[in-house]
Amino acid sequence: MHTRSIAIAAALVGISALALSPPLHAQQTLDELRALAEQGDAVAQLNLGLAYQLGRGIPKNDIEAVRWYRLAADQGVAAGQHNLGMMYANGRGVPQDDAAAARWLRAAADQGFANSQYNLGVRYGSGRGVPQDSAQAARWLRAAADQGFAAAQYNLGMMYENGRGVPQDDAVAVRWFRAAADQRLAVAQFNLGFMYETGRGVPQDYAEAARWYRLAANQGDTPAQYTLGSLYLVGQGGFPQDNLEAVRWFRLAADKGHAIAQHNLGTMYQNGQGVRQDYVEASMWYNLAVLRSSENRNMFVQTRDALAELMTSEQIAEAQRRAREWKPTPEP
C-alpha cells in the first residue's frame, strides 16, 4: 500500500530563493552598468547586485550584492526588495535575520511582486520572522497564486485540503493543484493523482490518477516513483501487476534515499521478483532502509535480520560494505 505522507509532511513547499531582475542589455558592459548604478539608476543597481551575487563577469561577492540590492530596494524597486529579503533569509552578505527578511519581502509583496507574496505566505504558515498566522498565509499565497505562481497554487491547494486558514474544501484544493500541475510542478501533479485515485474533490478516476502520477514520476518526483512501484507491485488502482515495472520505479525512488522503496526493493531481490534473486543486494537495501527510517525502523530491522539467518558471514559483510559505499542520486 502506498502513502502520501512523505509528499505532504509539510503543507508548504520550500521558500524560493530566486534572485530576479530585468535582463542586462546585450551591449551593456560591467563598467557601464557600474557607472549607471553609481549615478543612482535603480535598475542598474539591481543588476549590479545580481552580477555580484551570481558572479556574472565579476567575482562573486555577497556583501557587494547586498549593498547594491539595498540601494535599489531603498528606491522602491520590488525585485531589489525581494532579493535583499532573500539575502537576509539565507544569511548571505548579512547576518541571517528572519524578521528583516520578512520586512523586505513584505515591501515587495505590497507592490504585487508574486515571488515575495509566495515567500511571505510560506513565512506566515511557519512563523518565520512573522507571527504564525494561517489566514495570512492563505491570503498571500492566494495573491501569488492568482498571478500564476505555481508553488503558491500548490501550497494554496494544500491549505484547502487541510482546512488551514481557509475552509476545508477538496474541490477547491483540486482546482489549485491542477493549476500548478498544468505548469509541470511535480509535487502538484502527484497530489492531483492522489485526489483522482481516492475520489477527493473529483470523481474517482484511476486512469487520470495514473496519468498524473506518471507525469510527476517522469520528472523525478520521489514519492510518485515510489507510488507507481507500489501500484505495479500489487496490481492496484487499474494498474496491471508487473514486477519488472515495480522494480524499475522502486529503484528510482530507492536510489534517492526513499526508505520504504529501499525496503521494498530489498524484498524484490530477496524473493527474486522482477530481478534475479540476490541475498547480498537485498541485505544492502535493507541496511539502507534501516539507516534512513525512523517510523518503520523496527520492522526493517526484523526483515534484515531474518534474511541474515539465510546468509553466510561473508555475504553479510559484503552487503554491509555496499551499504557503506552507497551514495544517493541527487534530487532533480
Q: What is the pLDDT of residue 331?
A: 78
Indicate if the pLDDT at residue 209 is higher than 80. Answer: yes
Return d(Cα 142, Cα 152) in angstroms, integer.
7
Eight-class DSSP state of 24: P
Stretch 93-119: mean pLDDT: 97
Query: At 230, which helix (H) or strand (E)?
Result: helix 222-234
**Span 61-97, pLDDT tens digits:** 999 999 999 999 999 999 999 999 999 999 999 999 9
Q: What is the pLDDT of residue 315?
A: 97
- Domains, in order of start, for the chain: 1-132 (1.25.40.10), 137-219 (1.25.40.10)
Crossing angle of helices 98-109 and 114-126, in 10° steps, is 140
Q: What is the pLDDT of residue 29?
A: 86
As a whole number of Å, the end-to-end CA separation of the chain is 25
Give a three-class secondary structure readout of 34-101: HHHHHCCCHHHHHHHHHHHHHCCCCCCCHHHHHHHHHHHHHCCCHHHHHHHHHHHHHCCCCCCCHHHH
> Residue 22 is placed in which grid cell?
530585468
**Span 2-18, pLDDT tens digits:** 444 322 222 334 445 54
Q: What is the pTM of this model?
A: 0.86
